[in-house]
Amino acid sequence: MPGARGPGREALIMFCRNPGALAGAVVFLLILALTLVGPWLYPVDPFEIVWAPLTSPGDEFAQGVPLGTDYLGRDVLAGIVHGGRATLAVGSAAALLTVLIGVGMGALAGYHGGWVDGLLMRVTEFFQVLPPLLLAMVLVTLFSPTLTTIAVAIGVVSWPGVARLARGEFLRLKQLDYVKAARAAGAGSGHLILRVILPNALPPLIVTAALTVGVAILFEAGLSFLGLGDPNIMSWGLMIGANRDYIRDGWWAVTFPGAAIFLTVLSVSLMGDGLNDAFNPRLRER
């Protein structure tokens, strides 16, 4: 029909009608632009000592450091501008790895069932009962605390929830008529999993992936706060961890990067809620 709208377009329209989701998208795009373009607009080395330590924001003698300095005299604004790249990169990479592992495990378990399902779910339960932060700390401690190691550690400890969601979707969808028709037509398991079932299981997985980015950012901030971040690369979590002992004398060195993390996670959560409303037919009539 000429006036018919596809599910993707309808979901986009529903997302744009959600004020919270739009606000989250705008804030996230602004933060992303700050991390991508900011280092060229504000080319100050975040590790360079530019003024006296713990100089407060708006100090009349420090005109070049609008957000003050940290306990070593480094520019807080430079740290926020340059540190956003590392924080967002780790969060995105960890979320991608979480989704890949979770969807892979859940898809195989839900599609094959039987002993394959039992074995993969036992592995999932093993990782699910382990304390995620503690396991991530052990992995980062055993290997060098680089951004790659941190992203892999976060991905390894965060996938069980995604696996259970993917398994549930595959268990439901593989019983539908169009899957049975494709199987009767001679489609192999790989084709059924990747081309038939997975595209129809994507909506809830997309929502979960969006929310996982925020969780991964908090994980990275927590590891850096505990001193397990990469000391050679500036990140928002590293700024908070390095200045936590001086919060009474220099609140700004902790508050501003903390606010950046808060706004980023909040914007991602709002977009995730908007995607959930857009992809869930039961919520479209609210």
Q: Going from the N-terminus, what domains does the chain have, and what CATH number goes with each?
A: 37-270 (1.10.3720.10)
- For 99-108, the pLDDT digits (tens) are 999 999 999 9
Which residues have CB under 8 Å from 210's CB, separation 6+?
268, 271, 272, 275
User: Per-residue DSSP letters for the chain?
Assistant: -TT---HHHHHHHHHHT-HHHHHHHHHHHHHHHHHHHHHHHS---TTSB-SSTTPPTT-TT-TT-TT-B-TTSBBHHHHHHHHHHHHHHHHHHHHHHHHHHHHHHHHHHHHH-HHHHHHHHHHHHHHHHS-HHHHHHHHHHHS---HHHHHHHHHHHH-HHHHHHHHHHHHHHTTSHHHHHHHHTT--HHHIIIIIIHHHHHHHHHHHHHHHHHHHHHHHHHHHHTT-S-TTS--HHHHHHHHGGGTTT-THHHHHHHHHHHHHHHHHHHHHHHHHHHH-GGGTT-
Length of the chain as a residue count: 286
- For 211-241, the pLDDT digits (tens) are 888 888 888 888 888 888 888 889 999 999 8
Predicted local confidence at residue 4, as pLDDT: 45
Whether pLDDT at 3 is above 80 = no
Average pLDDT score over the chain: 88
When pLDDT is cut at 50, 70 and 90, the band that residue 6 belongs to is low
State the average pLDDT over residues 34-40.
Answer: 90
Predicted local confidence at residue 119, as pLDDT: 95
Share of residues in the chain with pLDDT > 70 (%): 94
- For 144-193, the pLDDT digits (tens) are 888 899 999 999 999 999 999 999 999 999 988 888 898 888 888 889 99
Predicted local confidence at residue 7, as pLDDT: 59
State the average pLDDT over residues 256-268.
Answer: 94
